[in-house]
Amino acid sequence: MSSGSNGARRIASVLRPSIANPGVCRSCQEKTLGRRSYAAAATNTAEISSSPSSTTAFPVIKPSYTINAGVLLSRPPQITRDLTPFEKAYFFYQKRLNERLALPFTKYFYFKRGTPADEDWKRKIRERQTAARDIGKYNAYADDAWNDELLVGAAESEPDHQVEMLVQDAEATVNATSQDTSKKEEIPRPFSRMTEADQQGDMKSLNRALQRTLYLFVQSKDGYWKLPSSPIEKEETLRLAVERTLAQSAGVNMNTWLVGFHPVGHHVYNFKKPRLDEANGIEHRGEKTFYIKGRIMTGQADLTVNTQGLKDFKWLAKEEIPKFVGLTYYSNIKNMLADR
């Protein structure tokens, strides 16, 4: 036999594998092909019944999914993010390095040696040990000025500590130069990054986790948490469906802005057992939800007049969401969520 015939046999065996071929998996070998529970769009009942190999006419069952419109409503960060421990130590080191190298104070240009002003300057330096209160006890002119790195766990690296030291220094300066010694001047402190809602753990408040993006989640009548969604009605676009869903679920007491007209992600939920509608020839497989991104400007969610039977709502950051939703649901929506 020629080599060409052998090559043709090998190609034929690849295109049409034998049952005994060990390269075919067991599931494919043992699987018996039966009637499918659905038909393609090009196939109709007449074609099935007129087939010479068909003895019984089966009804055409079309698979179907309920299409939902969902909204990814978020509140953007209000303040800068928290610094990492490495960033805190690095910025603190740069402050001390700047104190030692870049900004040496030429005191004799301002204070003549031996004058009362020179002695007063030396006394203040001895008391403060530094020209900048926010970098801790550090003398840039001492023999150990080279030791300007921060020890692990030192409080001087914390921004709150640095702010407090600067405020205390400003208060001391103001009170020392004030003509009225009967009352003590107080410098207003900056607002804390931790709000009252953070301290109380109020997840319904928008005035919490100011450095993070918060997302609106609602609790259905069945008790599970999800992003607001509802089925798209007839002759309704996705954008209009999202606007209606937002009003019906979280109320109209919010000033919101939808970012676009196209979905940023989707979630597919398959029923454990398909629901057959024999009257219409439809087999309901599950739900497909498409989400449009939105922003809340002002206002707050209100479920008192919702028409979806919702029980509760929360504003959650990305790292808080897995505590309330299922693993599959979170895996489908996590790529829509901002890391910050």
Mind listing the pLDDT tens digit for each residue in 91-139? 988 888 888 876 666 777 888 888 998 888 888 777 777 778 888 888 7
Rounded average pLDDT over 63-76? 91
First to last CA, the chain: 70
- Two tokens, residue 67: 């299409």
Average pLDDT, the chain: 80
What pLDDT does 134 receive? 84
Tell me if 293 sits within 8 A of 74, measured CB to CB: yes
Residue 234 has pLDDT above 80, yes or no: yes
pLDDT band of residue 42 (cuts 50, 70, 90) is: very low
Type of residue at 308: Q
Within 13 Å and on the Cβ side, how many CA atoms surround 205?
12
Tell me if 254 sits within 8 A of 296, measured CB to CB: yes
pLDDT band of residue 197 (cuts 50, 70, 90) is: very high
Tell me if 24 sits within 8 A of 245, measured CB to CB: no
Give pTM, 2 decimals: 0.71
**Ranges in the chain annotated CATH 3.90.79.10:** 65-79+202-336
What is the number of residues in the chain?
A: 340
- The Cα–Cα gap between 99 and 140 comes to 7
Q: Give me the residue label for tokens 């074609």.
A: 47
pLDDT band of residue 150 (cuts 50, 70, 90) is: confident
What pLDDT does 19 receive? 38
Tell me if 70 sits within 8 A of 291, measured CB to CB: yes
Q: In the CATH hierarchy, which fold is given to the domain comprising 65-79+202-336? A: Nucleoside Triphosphate Pyrophosphohydrolase (3.90.79)
pLDDT band of residue 43 (cuts 50, 70, 90) is: very low
34-48, 110-124, 163-177, 216-230: which range is least confident on average? 34-48
Q: Give me the residue label for tokens 């969604």.
A: 229
- The Cα–Cα gap between 270 and 281 comes to 19
Q: Give me the residue label for tokens 């800068």.
A: 80
CA angle 92, 95, 101 (to 5 degrees): 140
